[in-house]
Structure 1
């Protein structure tokens, strides 16, 4: 099986998105944590 290298630019973007979610994601995770969905 061959693995492709991860693009360093995408890695930086992915890390930033995980730390700073969009408003919609923040609201969604709040509901999921409180089991209200």
Structure 2
């Protein structure tokens, strides 16, 4: 779904730029963010 794709894009941006755009994560829970970063 959209939520997964937002996480995926945000994580790709994080690893590419070493920056997290908090707006990309504002709709996610901390658990979801943790799972996304680990994956």
Report if TM-score (shorter chain) is over 0.5.
Answer: no
Normalised to the residue count of structure 2, the TM-score between the two structures is: 0.35
Larger-gyration structure (1/2): 1
Between the two structures, name the one with larger relative contact order (CA 8 Å, sep ≥ 6): 2
